[in-house]
Amino acid sequence: MLCLGIEGTAEKLGVGIVSAEGEILANEGRPMPLREGIHPREAAQHHAQNIKALIERALSRAGVSMEEVDLIAFSRGPGLGPCLRVVAVAARTLALKYGIPVLGVNHCVAHIEIGRLTTGAEDPLTVYASGGNTQVTAYVEKRYRVFGETLDIALGNCIDQFARELKLGAPGGPIVERLAVGGSYVELPYVVKGMDLSYSGLLTAAVRQAKRASIEDVCFSLQETAFAMLVEVAERALAHTEKEEVLIAGGVVVNNRLQEMLRSMCEEHGAAFHAPPKEVLGDNGAMIAWLGVLSYLSGARQSIEETRVVQRWRTDEVEVLWR
Ligand code: ATP
Ligand code: FE2
């Protein structure tokens, strides 16, 4: 069985092809050139213009034809409405044209499942940080429960907006990471409320600090503060859930410093640290295809009417049928 998965919740379009055994035959991606952050309609247009070519590229990379594909999966949410709708229309069209089933799946759950597939983690606490999401989840009774999350903006968004304000470039994550090397600490607000995080005050304060302190110092301090907040929440969730593994997901955890902090927290708790390969950390089509496989094989079915997009779709609303 082969599943073709299409991802397009934000500015990145991805198409992956994965077998029922979990072999990733193709994972092609195309990010939109970023200038001033993401305009939902422009991103949707980018997806519409590139989706056909990207599907063809994925098929040729996998060495299969559309007739050999048994299932179409797509990211149904959460994400930007216009982007989600382009991807959904493409997925439904393929399904109808080739007479195969289509399944809309949850983007956040897909991040977790591709991480489990590629690292062999069995029952991890997942630390997921990207441009649009920041959450710490763990499996409990048929759901990925959210143990902590951001109350306002996502960690990646905080760093990206900081870089944009200071005209450092986009996306901000890798730029801030480079500038942070060799910086020293200047004070910034550390905001953890219960098990949840708040990054908007930190963003405002970091932009203000940049008028006084050196850019290297502010980048360093922004990373240290923002990451320490996330690691604190992860650490408490780990103690509470008594999980023995930590899995990372999302574009931000590519960051070396964040990985180092999480790894050392894991060592202190005797937990295994699992980092998937970079190609499947950020948004990608293979994760959508793999969640499609898991869902389909555990009995999930959707009529075309049931594939409506869901802009706000919480991770813990998905019933995990495959575990
Ligand atoms: P989602 O739809 O899950 O919110 P996304 O659209 O933000 O995902 P991802 O590829 O998961 O896409 O993540 C992109 C984010 O990762 C951006 O905010 C970017 O700045 C950040 N990022 C990339 N590299 C690094 C890095 N080295 N350090 C910190 N952040 C990084
Ligand atoms: Fe994502």
Percent of the chain past pLDDT 90, that is, above it, reads 96
Write the CA distances from 146 to 232, 271, 275, 313, integer angstroms: 15, 19, 20, 13
Cβ atoms of 176 and 210 within 8 Å: the answer is no
Confidence at residue 36, expressed as pLDDT on a 0 to 100 scale: 65
Which residue of 159, 220, 257 sits with most ligand 1 atoms within 8 Å of its CB, as the best mutation to test the pocket? 159
Strand pairing class (272-274; 245-249)? parallel
Beta strands in 115-178, from DSSP E residues, in sequence order: 125-129, 134-140, 143-149
The residue type of 25 is: L
Question: What's the CATH architecture for 2-111+280-317?
Answer: 2-Layer Sandwich (3.30)
Task: Using the structure block, give the residue that is written with the tokens 């897909």.
Answer: 110
- The residues with which 195 forms a beta bridge, in sequence order, are none
Cβ atoms of 225 and 147 within 8 Å: the answer is no
Q: What is the pLDDT of residues 225-280, one digit of tens each?
A: 999 999 999 999 999 999 999 999 999 999 999 999 999 999 999 999 999 999 99
Q: What is the pLDDT of residues 50-88, one digit of tens each?
A: 999 999 999 999 999 999 999 999 999 999 999 999 999
Q: How confident is the model at residue 197 (pLDDT cuts 50, 70, 90)?
A: very high
Residue 13 pLDDT greater than 70, yes or no: yes
Q: What is the pLDDT of residues 308-321, one digit of tens each?
A: 999 999 999 999 99
From the CA atom positions of the chain, what is the Rg in Å? 19
Q: What is the pLDDT of residues 123-144, one digit of tens each?
A: 999 999 999 999 999 999 999 9
Cβ atoms of 288 and 5 within 8 Å: the answer is yes
Closest ligand 1 atom, residue 111 Cα: 3
Enumerate residues 6+ apart whose C-beta is below 8 A from 85. 44, 309
Confidence at residue 30, expressed as pLDDT on a 0 to 100 scale: 87
C-alpha torsion sign, points 302, 303, 304, 307: negative
Q: Look up the pTM and report it.
A: 0.97
Q: Residue 26, exposed/middle/buried by CB under 10 A (0-12, 13-18, 19+)? A: buried
User: What's the mean pLDDT when you consider all of the chain?
Assistant: 97
Which residue of 283, 287, 288, 312 sits with most ligand 1 atoms within 8 Å of its CB, as the best mutation to test the pocket? 283
Task: List, chain by chain if needed, residues with CB within 6 Å of any ligand 1 atom.
Answer: 9-10, 12, 130-133, 156, 159-160, 171-174, 177, 250-252, 254-255, 282-283
Query: Rounded to whole angstroms, how far apart are CA atoms 259 and 57?
Result: 32
Same fold, 2-111+280-317 and 123-277: yes
Q: What is the pLDDT of residues 279-298, one digit of tens each?
A: 999 999 999 999 999 999 99
The full DSSP string for 168-213 is --SSHHHHHHHHHTT---------EETTEE--HHHHHHHHHHTTTS
Q: What is the pLDDT of residues 28-54, one digit of tens each?
A: 998 777 666 678 999 999 999 999 999
Q: Which CATH number fits domain 123-277: 3.30.420.40, 3.30.2310.20, 3.40.50.720, 3.20.20.70?
A: 3.30.420.40
Confidence at residue 31, expressed as pLDDT on a 0 to 100 scale: 79
Confidence at residue 34, expressed as pLDDT on a 0 to 100 scale: 66
What would you measure as the largest C-alpha separation in the chain, in angstroms? 62
Domain boundaries, the chain: 2-111+280-317, 123-277
